[in-house]
Structure 1
């Protein structure tokens, strides 16, 4: 094992460690506040779901990738590869759908000036749990067919039959099958990314129009403060921008690997990019969401022991 592999393994360990720590902190905080603290916002249930699936993404992809970066390649058999790949694909899809739904909810929240949107917003809290169940059912079903093409690292006897993904491998009958596979499984992703781009553009437009209106009313005396609604919108915009950026770069590399013969460094870079959003998103929420600090203060005050 070379020094480059040691550095790469260390990067994966740091990425997984900090990401899991941040997501677990948010998940634990929301869970405890749900039982002992003030009433959670409807969006907090989506954020806790996002933290949970982000932990799954980091663990299902990061641990095998870290192990291979440190030189241990043949540690999974066919069943292990199928389970790891399946869990990662499901968790990644859930992370995408949850982020998409967050952007839609926040866009509707900003549209309260219209009566029709106000009526829809009132129904959003009732839709969150059914939405999560739908997402889990949809992804568990749609990705079960992809298990047929996943093998262990030594599962392909002829190198021309598939692609080696270091700790696992994929098999396809022809290049046409690869193209159809990539197209079909990319449709939900493209749909969600399109919705996120549309809602993000709409939110930017609404915030800009509101800023212009307030500036016109108050002139140069406008304060630098921002409302909780505006801060929440800015947080969602940062999350969406991060997701779309990392997702786009990773998708380009993933398409190249499916259509060609990827080397090990491309596979490691793709895995690192795929884990960047789930690793960074909890810290965006911790820093920018004022409600997280309020929940933390409630929890801290509740844990204080009375002075004897």
Structure 2
């Protein structure tokens, strides 16, 4: 009850948090439904479209689960049990991990698509198409196993007060675990994040170099009819570069404000509200960036409006 009174002082911030979640859920739903309709019209969807659809699905589930967490954290419900705590926290952490992996995969796929025929990445164009489903399955299984710790250490908060518990929400707590297991788990998470962000930075840098090289060639030929800005590949590359830049900015901001060793949230209301806004900002803004240059969505709306 005391915690509920504490959060009541930040009612406007809480409204902003739920408004962010709602906007993100709607945007990701629209993006996901659009790609589902696109897949129904195509027999063999491209890996890039499949990646965007998966990213929309991951962010949709992630924002829905964090709504449940926020509802319980801010004291709007006390109906969670042990199974509910384990399931919701595990799914949320799984979606966060998959968001990083899928964003990295999206950047790598676009770099492969943009690479010229004489490039060393050209041979991966056909391989990525045929082996892509196996890559997705591997990422899901790997992250499900890596985040299984939350199924083991998360549980309903007992009525007895204990200083060894770390409160995740009003009804859920993180139980103390063996120090060796904790360090191994944190090391694996940090190695995973650093590896995927490093690959994301390399692929983004490679795409920037290709675009700059192509622009110099166009200027040398004194022609702008085939400039990167006017080509679909160039627009898609610029969109993904913007998306990767925004992701790295939000990840760095989250890491700077809240230390990399922090697993979930602190008990301070201000820190908790800011972390929820920052930690889920990428999932909210991501679909808008992807839809901003998606001409197929605009064409569908124009066709539907013309028919009416």
Q: Report the TM-score, using the length of structure 1 for normalisation.
A: 0.86
What's the TM-score once normalised by structure 2's chain length? 0.86
Structure 2 unmatched ranges of 5 or more: none
Please state how far the C-alpha of 1:78 moved relative to its aligned partner. 2.2
The change in CA–CA distance for 1:261 and 1:117 in structure 2 (over 3 A counts) is closer
Deviation at 1:10, TM superposition (A): 1.1
1:89 aligns with one of 93, 102, 121? 93
| Equivalent residue number for residue 136 of structure 1 | 140
User: 1:234 Cα deviation (Å)?
Assistant: 0.6
State the match for 1:163 in structure 2.
Answer: 166
Distance 1:57 1:260, change over 3 A: closer
Question: How far 1:156 sits from its partner (Å)?
Answer: 6.9
Q: How many angstroms apart in 2 are the aligned matches of 1:90 and 1:260?
A: 16
Q: Report the secondary structure of 1:16's partner residue.
A: helix
Distance in 2 between the 1:148 and 1:84 partners?
Answer: 13
Q: Deviations over 1:201-255 (max 9, x none)?
A: 1111111121122112217999795211111001111111122222222244153
Structure 1 residue 11 corresponds to structure 2 residue 35: no
Q: 2:64 maps to which residue? A: 59
Q: Over aligned residue pairs, what C-alpha RMSD do you find?
A: 2.9
Q: Is the CA contact 1:231–1:289 (under 8 Å) kept in the aligned structure 2?
A: no
Contact persistence 1:100–1:196 (CA under 8 A): yes
Matched pairs, number: 301
Segment of structure 1 superposing worse, 285-294 or 48-57: 285-294
Higher helix share: 1
What displacement does 1:287 show? Answer: 1.0
Report SS of the residue matched to 1:121.
helix
2:28 to 23, 45, 61: 23
Structure 1 residues 39 and 149, CA gap change in structure 2 (3 angstroms):
closer
1:78, 1:155 within 8 Å by CA — same for their partners in 2?
no
Query: Structure 1 residue 135: deviation in Å?
Result: 1.6
Structure 1 distance, partners of 2:127, 2:187, is 34
Question: Matches of 1:258 and 1:91 in 2, distance apart?
Answer: 15
What are the Cα deviations for residues 249-270 of structure 1, in whole angstroms up to 9, with x where unaligned?
Answer: 2244153545996423223322
TM alignment of 1:192-207, pairs within 5 A: 192-207=196-211
> Structure 1 residues 223 and 229 mapped into 2: Cα distance closer, same or farther (>3 Å)?
closer
Q: How far did residue 39 of structure 1 move?
A: 6.8
The answer on 1:108 being equivalent to 2:109 is no
DSSP-derived class of the 1:172 partner? coil
**Secondary structure at 1:151's aligned position in 2?**
strand
One of 127, 145, 154 as aligned partner of 2:149: 145
How far does residue 41 in structure 1 lie from its aligned partner after superposition?
A: 3.7
**Does 2:191 match 1:181?**
no
Can you list the C-alpha shifts for 1:24-82, whole angstroms capped at 9, x where unaligned? Answer: 1111111122224697443111111110011011111133214433x336432222111
